[in-house]
């Protein structure tokens, strides 16, 4: 792997470039983004140079799509005309079924392997990029068949994922989407619903709230510019997770007595503690 | 005000004692707690001495009840036999209607004024107590009538609340309970429901979760030993807040399209941003 093209040099794309470099990658890193972002990425030494999508795709051994999900779907369709037959195309989208299906449908050259690095920060953009972003974090790969992981370029990608400190996890695209509906998309909607409910009500204006409310609404600051694509491409799994959550809240309302509520609190704190006890992941 | 008796020398009671001292209170601070807690509180110089409930109540100008809510209800009934006629009794319970009602019913001596300092930390107990806990935080007072605030001992308490850096807010007990049902109790149940739903499911065991899930389940670590009393004494308001939250989530499910969901996200992030923009409160 000599040349990597990063499409979308934001938090994730920029961090992947920095992480590769820190892990010893000595080839070229080309960025594809808006002119302003490319200028800033060059200044911050995140990429070696900027290029058009066509130029970048024609040169790259690895095409890394770190754009918003719907933009990735569009890029995939364009790439086929340009990409080298031995190139690996991967992505960092937060939902996988729509992307993997689109790749199968439109790519007749190159190999595709979907990915989802489960890392993030509150700040976005290339300015927030950092080499350590993926360290200790899960990096999901979503082949349609196990054989896709055995190809030389896919093996090389997995090696780099380990070298940047992330933990590769292999899942089918649908399985991935069903899991993140519960572990990522539902927590987002639960926080958004809470904040949307409170907005416009008199209560918070009184100033009568504690630090817990500030914490509980942190995710509600998330931008719909990112979440719109996620909701649009994981609709079925998210609606199912929402239904389960509503059912659990209805259970609370129905069984609002000390014994069953103690059991719920115990169950919840067991989960929260277990999540925190998870051994620090290292490659 | 020469002698303060703190009933329940934990995080709140201990912090109130430390805060009074730091703000220049030069009288005596007596603690009423278990022998182990009193020993630790003396060691940490949080109190001047320990005493029995009766001894402490007979000496105090201010009786500060910082016990769990149901324990406060029991203490109020006992206090009447001991408390000085000119003493002020206040409390730091997280719900107010049950406590204010009980005080009216059982106290024929002394004055009562309910309170709720909206401060907290993840750690509990006297070891976690700190003089700055109330600084910049709301301190709700819940008189049954405005006249209660005008009595000399109630005025003196309000002065100390300001001196420790807290911001006094006056609300009726029922109004307080209805507000905190939305701003404190609902966020707790939303987090507990999310964590209780995920416990036992296969998803989190896969390791496929991001930092957001860890944040979203932090409140789920809360102990039912505290929350059981809150749920028991604010049942009606909490069930109403739960119903509103369920209705909002059902609205999400029903209107799961880009335009209405963008409106919900915008509404939610407006609220979350407003909560954070609130000017730092100072007395």
Ordered structural domains, chain A, with CATH: 3-171 (3.40.50.720), 175-277 (1.10.3660.10)
Residue A31, min C-alpha distance to chain B (Å): 26
Residue among A143, A75, A145 at smallest CA distance from A114: A143
- B216 contacts in A (CB within 8 Å)? 187, 190-191, 219
Q: Are A110 and A81 in contact (CB under 8 A)?
A: no
Asked if B275 lies within 8 A of A167 by C-beta distance, the reply is no
Burial B102-111 (b: 16+ CB within 10 A, else e): bbeeebeebb
Residue A201, min C-alpha distance to chain B (Å): 10
Provide the mean pLDDT of chain A. 94
Q: Which helix (H) or strand (E) holds A98?
A: helix A97-106
Q: Are B149 and B141 in contact (CB under 8 A)?
A: yes
Give the residue-averaged pLDDT of A211-227.
92
Distance CA B34, CA B13 (A): 13
- B199 contacts in A (CB within 8 Å)? 267-268, 270-271, 274
pLDDT band at A204 (very low <50, low <70, confident <90, very high): low
A78-107 pLDDT, tens digit per residue, is: 999 999 999 999 999 999 999 999 999 999
B186, B265, B276 member nearest A194 (Cβ):
B186
Provide the chain B residues 115-144 that lie in CB contact (below 8 A) with chain A. 118-120, 137-138, 140
Distance CA B33, CA B199 (A): 36
pLDDT band at A281 (very low <50, low <70, confident <90, very high): very low
A-chain residue closest to B240, CA distance: A253
In the predicted model, is pLDDT for residue A280 greater than 60?
A: no
A2-55 pLDDT, tens digit per residue, is: 999 999 999 999 999 999 999 999 999 999 999 999 999 999 999 999 999 999
Q: Are B269 and A222 in contact (CB under 8 A)?
A: yes
Residues paired with residue B114 on neighbouring β-strands, in sequence order: B142
- Give percent of chain A above pLDDT 90: 88
pLDDT band at A282 (very low <50, low <70, confident <90, very high): very low
CB-neighbour burial class of residue B239 (10 A; exposed 0-12, middle 13-18, buried 19+): middle
Tokens of residue B101, six digits: 């009602």
In the predicted model, is pLDDT for residue A203 greater than 90?
A: no
Residue A122, min C-alpha distance to chain B (Å): 10
CB-neighbour burial class of residue A147 (10 A; exposed 0-12, middle 13-18, buried 19+): exposed
pLDDT band at A202 (very low <50, low <70, confident <90, very high): low
- A239 contacts in B (CB within 8 Å)? 253, 256
Per-residue pLDDT, A206: 74
Per-residue pLDDT, B265: 98
pLDDT band at A120 (very low <50, low <70, confident <90, very high): confident
Distance CA A105, CA A107 (A): 6
* Interface ipTM above 0.90: yes
B125 φ/ψ sector (left φ>0, alpha ψ -120 to 50, else beta): left
Low-confidence spans in chain B with pLDDT less than 70: 202-205, 278-283
Distance CA A131, CA A15 (A): 5
CA A98 to centroid of chain Cα atoms: 14
Per-residue pLDDT, B283: 33
B211's CB contacts (< 8 A; 6+ apart) are A119, A120
Output phi, psi for B57, to 5 deg.
Answer: -65, -35
Per-residue pLDDT, A201: 83
A191, A195, A267 member nearest B216 (Cβ):
A191
DSSP character at residue A119: -
Give the residue-averaged pLDDT of A175-200.
96
Distance CA B86, CA B109 (A): 8
B119, B187, B197 member nearest A194 (Cβ):
B187
Tokens of residue B224, six digits: 């039912």
Output phi, psi for B89, to 5 deg.
Answer: -110, 125
């Amino acid at each position: 792997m000599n040349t990597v093209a990063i499409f979308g040099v934001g938090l994730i794309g920029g961090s992947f470039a920095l992480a590769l470099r820190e892990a010893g990658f000595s080839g070229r890193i080309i960025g594809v983004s808006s002119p302003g972002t490319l200028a800033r990425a060059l200044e911050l030494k995140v990429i070696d140079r900027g290029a058009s999508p066509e130029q970048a795709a024609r040169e790259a051994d690895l095409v890394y799509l770190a754009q918003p999900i719907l933009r990735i779907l569009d890029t995939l369709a364009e790439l086929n005309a340009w990409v080298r037959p031995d190139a690996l195309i991967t992505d960092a989208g937060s939902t996988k079924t729509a992307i993997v299906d689109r790749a199968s449908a439109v790519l007749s050259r190159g190999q595709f392997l979907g990915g989802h690095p489960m890392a993030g920060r509150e700040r976005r953009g290339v300015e927030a990029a950092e080499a350590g972003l993926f360290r200790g974090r899960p990096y999901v790969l979503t082949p349609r068949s196990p054989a896709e992981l055995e190809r030389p370029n896919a093996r090389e990608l997995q090696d780099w994922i380990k070298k940047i400190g992330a933990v590769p996890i292999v899942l089918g695209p649908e399985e991935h989407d069903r899991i993140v509906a519960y572990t990522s998309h539902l927590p987002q909607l639960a926080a958004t619903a809470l904040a949307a409910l409170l907005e416009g009500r008199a209560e918070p204006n009184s100033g009568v709230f504690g630090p817990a409310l500030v914490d509980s609404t942190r995710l509600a600051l998330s931008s719909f510019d990112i979440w719109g694509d996620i909701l649009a491409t994981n609709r079925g799994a998210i609606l199912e997770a929402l239904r389960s959550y509503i059912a659990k809240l209805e259970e609370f309302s129905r069984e609002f007595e000390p014994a069953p509520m103690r059991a719920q609190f115990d169950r919840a704190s067991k989960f929260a503690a277990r999540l925190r006890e998870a051994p620090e992941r290292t490659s």
